[in-house]
Chain A
Amino acid sequence: MSCCAPGTEAALDRAAALTAGPSPEEVRLASRDLGDGLRQTDLSVPGIHCGACIQAIESALARLDGVVHARVNLSSRRVSVRWRGDAPPPIVPAINALGYEAHLDDGAGEARDETLAELIRAVAVSGFAAGNIMLLSVSVWSGAQDATRDLFHWISALIAVPALVFAGRIFYRSAFQALRHGRMNMDVPIALGVSLAYGLSLYETINHGQHAYFDAAVSLLFFLLIGRTLDHVMRERTRVAVSGLARLAPRGALVLGDDGTRSYLPLGEIEPGMRLMIAAGERIPVDGRVVAGSSELDCALVTGESAPQPIARDGAVRAGTLNLTGPLTVEAEAAAKDSFLAEMLRLMEAAEGGRARYRRIADRASALYSPVVHLTALLTFAGWMVASGGDWHQSLTIAIAVLIITCPCALGLAVPIVQVVAARRLFESGIMVKDGSAMERLAEIDTVVFDKTGTLTLGAPRPVGLDAVKPRVRALTAAIAAHSRHPLSQALAAAAPAGVPAPAFSSVREVPGYGVEAEQDGIVYRLGRAEWAAPDDPAARDGTVLARDGMALARFDFEDRLRRDARTAVETLQAEGLAIELISGDREEAVRSAGAALAIDAATARALPGDKASRLDSLARQGHRALMVGDGLNDAPALAAAHVSMAPATAADIGRNAADFVFLRESLYAVPQALDIARRAGRLVRQNFALAIGYNVIAVPIAVLGHVTPLIAAVAMSLSSLIVVANAMRLRPARAPQRAAAADSRAEGVAPGRLATAP
């Protein structure tokens, strides 16, 4: 598993670079009280990948004052720290100093997964029972007679009781729930089959009969529980992985009291009228109005606008936007529950669309399957009553044997095992899937709707035409730009030419809302807005310039960078015959240029959150099944309204929670890749159904004719389960585009055809 997800970190780098680490108050707020003055803080550290990481982090944390215990979990890439004292030890800076990114993690703070614990205990108990009963059964099959056989049957009956009660209740509970709501699921025939098998066997044992099916009943439970546990583990792993992503919504804010005191309040306690201090690099917690300071806001996640918005006194700010350059004092105008985020949540509830109506394929299959099986058993009973002249014992025995042999062992495994293998393949490609139904829904889509900012593009600007600028000037620009968090500055700093030494400055200061000013040997350089940086230069009226003593040296233009493989991904999807749409909250020209670059004709700009959701609604009404791919807060209602949805790891928290799939890596190729795996998983599920039905076609006549013995039942059921599992394993990892040719993804021939013809 180590190093299994390279690229995970890269995708999150941008978010990390812009955002400040959690303040001590936030760390304290997020920690759990264990009593006795002991507190526990859970952190997600995605960079952990080997034993050396464990050693480095644990020993560094153990050296901090106040830390009682630090433990790294390599599987989930988390660190749990227990500490004492009023202020938390500097945990995050200590981990950052080692070169790892760390963020507070709420997911791990929850109670342990009780369902998983129950499932594993049930697997253990049923495995124990199945093994021992099978041991006794083999003796009976190989010829144990009379008293010995009866003794073995009695012991088997005793061992089966705890398995049935403890492991079987999971199925009984689910079957009871389904029946009470007038529905049918796979657990109904399972529960019925197991109970009847046990009842019949007990009756036979009491009457010194030859055949008992204890082994069939218990090993059926064992196999099915394994499938169910794997299914649960898969979903749990996704939940943990998604909850471990950096939290983008703030937990609280520093509130400025009337008497000048400052206190850190959790989000729920912030009320309108409070004055909040927002440092550069922090997100705005609630809607409000700026009362002091000026800065720039990154609204990409909230509205989809890619260019930072300048903000000054009296400007309105929305919850969720990121304060980029200068500290702001904001007067709250709404409580968190009435802010922009809450409005999105209301829209999402209203939009709950395709997935509520969707019925899983296994449920649909069992709705067909159960009546057929139960009817067959009933007809067998009637037939034998007639044929044997009213021997109800023989007729009932054979009818129950029919139920046992058709008990949907293979059918119960057919779907979950494929989805577990598919989820594993997706996980290896850095794609998390919330549950199996998402995979089924993804395989059905005919339309893909993309958001622009942060989804098709990275929302990170890139300077264009830098080659025209002299390397010396570029080095100077990069050195100045390195002093600012502004996205344009970060982009310029990243574009520093290699091999040119960075000049040194005597002083550097950032002027929020305008740019950076640096002084070197009495010369003042300014990098920023043209009217501020070069006021004396009539040629420089707009854009971003580098100026020396008021005269422009160079002008910089930026374009929003497309996400890696965006073009390949869109082309692949188009080649699959899917309709592609682009719907964004950004400006007209930005949307048009992105649409042109990707050859997407249907592009809508300036869409409000409600517009996006209603577009998906109308697609659904026209009978289309749409995949929504989006990242922002403003996409969340659309993600909820879509038939199936996908979000990048850098998405806003509620967007990630609303999405069925979350992809961790930067490459947009995750979208066709997930689609490919989902479709192949769908094919394998249908094959598995065919295998299970084929098994029944052979086994049912044997059972109806009364030739089934416990030996035949055990062999047939195990064999059919193994075949289904083996078939599921055929799902091979999907091929990603080759990185070597990434410079021109068009030329590498990632072959849409190859995906279509994959086995």
Chain B
Amino acid sequence: MTNLAILIPVALLLGAAGLAAFLWALRSGQYEDLDGAAERVLYDDETRPLPPADDEPAHPHRD
């Protein structure tokens, strides 16, 4: 029983961490363009998804 008391919270915590990571990725626009992401990995430029319009304006990074 004692090892269960550790293992179950750990299992739940890991699951919750995965859930949180997924929700964060969703919110930050990483699922907006899956085909594009697959192509962009082939190019060197450092690019990131367009931040949502209601957030603060994008930092200019044109290169």
Instruction: List residues of A whose CB falls within 8 A of some B CB.
Output: 1-2, 32, 34-36, 38, 40, 50-51, 54-55, 58, 62, 67-69, 71-76, 80, 82, 112, 117, 120-121, 124-125, 128, 131-132, 135, 147-148, 151, 155, 159
Contact = CB atoms under 8 A, between A and B. Distances in A.
B33 A76 contact: yes
A72 B33 CA distance: 9
Given A80-B50, A128-B19, A73 B36 contact: yes
Contact of B43 (A1, A36, A55, A147): A55
B23 A124 contact: yes
A120 B26 contact: yes
Interface string B17-45: 01100110010000011111001101101
A76 B60 CA distance: 24
23 contacts: A32-B53, A40-B53, A51-B39, A51-B43, A54-B39, A58-B47, A69-B50, A69-B61, A69-B62, A71-B49, A74-B39, A82-B57, A82-B58, A112-B52, A120-B26, A124-B19, A124-B23, A128-B16, A132-B11, A147-B1, A148-B1, A155-B8, A159-B12
Interface residues on B, range: 20 to 34
A73 B36 CA distance: 6
B13 to A, nearest CB: 11
B36 A54 contact: yes
Contacts of B36: 54, 72-75
B18 A128 contact: yes
A466 B16 CA distance: 73
Contacts of A34: 53, 57
A67 B61 CA distance: 11
B6 interface: no
Nearest to A71: B50
Nearest to A80: B50
A261 B39 CA distance: 48
Contacts of A125: 19
A613 to B, nearest CB: 40
Given A82-B58, A124-B23, A132 B15 contact: yes
B60 to A, nearest CB: 5
Nearest to B16: A128
B33 A75 contact: yes
Nearest to A82: B58
A250 to B, nearest CB: 26
A124 B17 CA distance: 12
B33 A74 contact: yes
A74 B40 CA distance: 10
B47 to A, nearest CB: 8
Interface of B: 1, 4, 8, 11-12, 15-16, 18-19, 22-23, 26, 32-36, 39-40, 42-43, 45, 47, 49-50, 52-53, 57-58, 60-63
A139 to B, nearest CB: 9
B58 A51 contact: no
Nearest to A59: B45
Contacts of A51: 39-40, 42-43
Contacts of B34: 75
A125 B60 CA distance: 35
Contacts of B8: 155
B60 A68 contact: yes
A17 B61 CA distance: 35
Contacts of A80: 50
A230 to B, nearest CB: 14
Contact of A50 (B33, B39, B47, B57): B39
Contacts of A72: 36
Given A34-B53, A80-B50, A125-B19, A69 B35 contact: no
Contacts of B33: 73-76
A68 B51 CA distance: 13
Contacts of B15: 128, 131-132
Contacts of B62: 62, 67-69
A190 to B, nearest CB: 23
A75 B35 contact: yes
**Which 8 pairs between the two chains have the least Cβ-Cβ distance?**
A51-B39, A74-B36, A74-B35, A73-B33, A71-B50, A75-B35, A128-B19, A62-B62
A2 B35 contact: yes
Contacts of B43: 51, 54-55
Contacts of B12: 132, 155, 159
Contacts of A67: 62
B57 to A, nearest CB: 5
A602 B49 CA distance: 54
A67 B63 CA distance: 12
B51 to A, nearest CB: 9
Given A73-B32, A74-B36, A128-B18, A35 B50 contact: no
A50 B39 CA distance: 7
A75 B34 CA distance: 7
A112 B62 CA distance: 25
A107 to B, nearest CB: 14
A293 B13 CA distance: 75
Nearest to B63: A62
Contacts of A62: 62-63
A195 to B, nearest CB: 24
A81 B17 CA distance: 35
Nearest to B48: A71
Given A2-B39, A120-B26, 12 more contacts: A40-B53, A69-B50, A69-B58, A74-B35, A74-B39, A121-B26, A124-B22, A124-B26, A128-B18, A132-B11, A135-B11, A148-B1
A643 B54 CA distance: 41
Contacts of B53: 32, 34, 40
Contacts of B47: 58, 71
A684 B39 CA distance: 36
Contacts of B35: 1-2, 74-75
A422 B17 CA distance: 36
A423 B63 CA distance: 39
Residue among B8, B36, B40, B47 facing the most chain A CB atoms (10 A cut-off): B36
Nearest to B34: A75
Given A75-B35, A128-B18, A69 B49 contact: no
A68 B22 CA distance: 29
A340 to B, nearest CB: 35
A734 B39 CA distance: 29
A32 B12 CA distance: 43
Residue among A32, A55, A67 facing the most chain B CB atoms (10 A cut-off): A55
B17 to A, nearest CB: 10
A743 B39 CA distance: 37
Contact of A36 (B22, B57, B61): B57
Nearest to A38: B57
A32 B63 CA distance: 24
Residue among A2, A32, A54 facing the most chain B CB atoms (10 A cut-off): A54
A69 B60 contact: yes
Nearest to B58: A69
Contacts of B40: 51, 54
Contacts of A132: 11-12, 15
A246 B42 CA distance: 31
Contacts of A73: 32-33, 36
